[in-house]
Amino acid sequence: MYDYQYVYYKNSYLLRQLQYYPYVQLTVIAVFGVLAYIAFSYSKTAEQNRVWVGLAKETAHQLGTPLSSLMAWVEYFKSEPKLAEMGITEELGKDIKKLEMITARFSNIGSVPILKQERLYDVVQATISYLQPRISTKVRIEVHEESPGITAAINKPLFDWVIENLCKNAVDAMSGIGKIDVNISKGSEGKVYIDVTDNGKGMNKSSLKRVFQPGFTTKKRGWGLGLTLVKRIVENYHQGKIIVKSSVVDEGTTFRIVLRT
Ligand SMILES: Nc1ncnc2c1ncn2[C@@H]1O[C@H](COP(=O)(O)OP(=O)(O)OP(=O)(O)O)[C@@H](O)[C@H]1O
Ligand SMILES: [Mg+2]
């Protein structure tokens, strides 16, 4: 008779394996949890993107029809000497240009925008020339270029929108008087910096943390959407970065955009 009997000096192999089982189980649960979280946040971002893009596309689309009709009317007015003399056609033409600009912005944000190498100084200067007469005469905006001819791949209508939003915020941070400097410079590894500096009221630490959050505003009539849009345009549409480079209460703020050449 070969009947074996085991005498264990320690826990059996099975029992030792069982010791680890709860850890394995917990790890599996944790992995599932993480995967579920990633899937959820991904679908949330995708939904947000769809809302942005859909709304923008629809706006551009709806603006298109009255705009082309207005353009036709202006052409007709031009042939009426009386109206042309009164300068009405010219003013109408300017408003139409502005509407066209808005439509271009919305239609670009509602599609995959085409990026083109542009001279940043020229693009920024054009936006500033448009903005300057529309803000207080006591706020001066200056554009500087570290070396001539700095270019970056940008979508002009969207980049205009970024500069306009940053400058408007800078103007709002001042009490009617002040100076805004836009500095264009080259960084390392083909990076290009666009710094927008104001000498406005600056931001405290808690504001600094929240500036890019949708809905964060300290203004009575603000929507808190300007910087959210700016961040979106710079990061999603230009693969760039935007940061608050510095902000000191009562001294001023510098926003830095980082793009690639
Ligand atoms: N240059 C700046 N100086 C000081 N504070 C600023 C500056 N830029 C932004 N902020 C602060 O960040 C907040 C958010 O700015 P954001 O542009 O997103 O919204 P908003 O200007 O309040 O409203 P809007 O949607 O009309 O742009 C502002 O309310 C302001 O408190
Ligand atoms: Mg704003």
Residue nearest to atom 26 of ligand 1 (CA): 222
- Residues 6+ positions from 108 with CB-CB distance below 8 Å: 155, 157, 158, 237
Q: What is the pLDDT of residues 251-260, one digit of tens each?
A: 999 999 999 8
Which ligand has the shortest distance to the CA of 242?
A: 1
Residue nearest to atom 7 of ligand 1 (CA): 169
CA distance 173 to 66: 36
Q: Are 184 and 120 within 8 A, CB to CB?
A: yes
9 pLDDT above the threshold of 90: no
pTM (2 d.p.): 0.83
**Which one is predicted more confidently, 170 or 98?**
170
Q: For position 176, what pLDDT does the model report?
A: 87
Q: Which of the listed residues 217, 223, 247 should we mutate to test ligand 1's pocket, taking the one with most ligand atoms within 8 A of CB?
A: 217
CA distance 247 to 161: 22
Ligand 1 pocket by Cβ (under 6 Å): 169-170, 173, 198, 200-203, 207, 211, 216-219, 222-228, 253
CA distance 165 to 242: 13
Amino acid identity for residue 70 in this structure: L
Q: Are 159 and 115 within 8 A, CB to CB?
A: no
Q: For position 89, what pLDDT does the model report?
A: 83
Rounded mean pLDDT, 18-39 = 95
Q: For position 78, what pLDDT does the model report?
A: 84
Which band of pLDDT confidence, cut at 50, 70 and 90, is reported for residue 248? very high
Q: What is the pLDDT of residues 165-221, one digit of tens each?
A: 999 999 999 988 999 999 999 998 889 999 999 999 999 999 999 999 999 999 999
DSSP secondary structure of 164-202 = HHHHHHHHHTSSS-EEEEEEEEE-STTEEEEEEEE-S--
Which band of pLDDT confidence, cut at 50, 70 and 90, is reported for residue 240? very high
Ligand 2 centroid, distance to 169 Cα (angstroms): 5
Which band of pLDDT confidence, cut at 50, 70 and 90, is reported for residue 1? low
Q: For position 224, what pLDDT does the model report?
A: 94
Beta bridge partners of 198: 180, 253
CA distance 133 to 140: 10
What is the pLDDT of the chain when averaged over all its residues? 92
83 pLDDT above the threshold of 80: no
- Residues 6+ positions from 241 with CB-CB distance below 8 Å: 234, 235, 257, 258
CB atoms within 10 A of CB 174: 19
Q: Are 238 and 115 within 8 A, CB to CB?
A: yes
Q: What is the 3-state secondary structure (H, E, C) of 62-113?
A: HHHHHHHHHHHHHHHHHCCHHHHHCCHHHHHHHHHHHHHHHHHHHHHHCCCC
Q: For position 37, what pLDDT does the model report?
A: 97
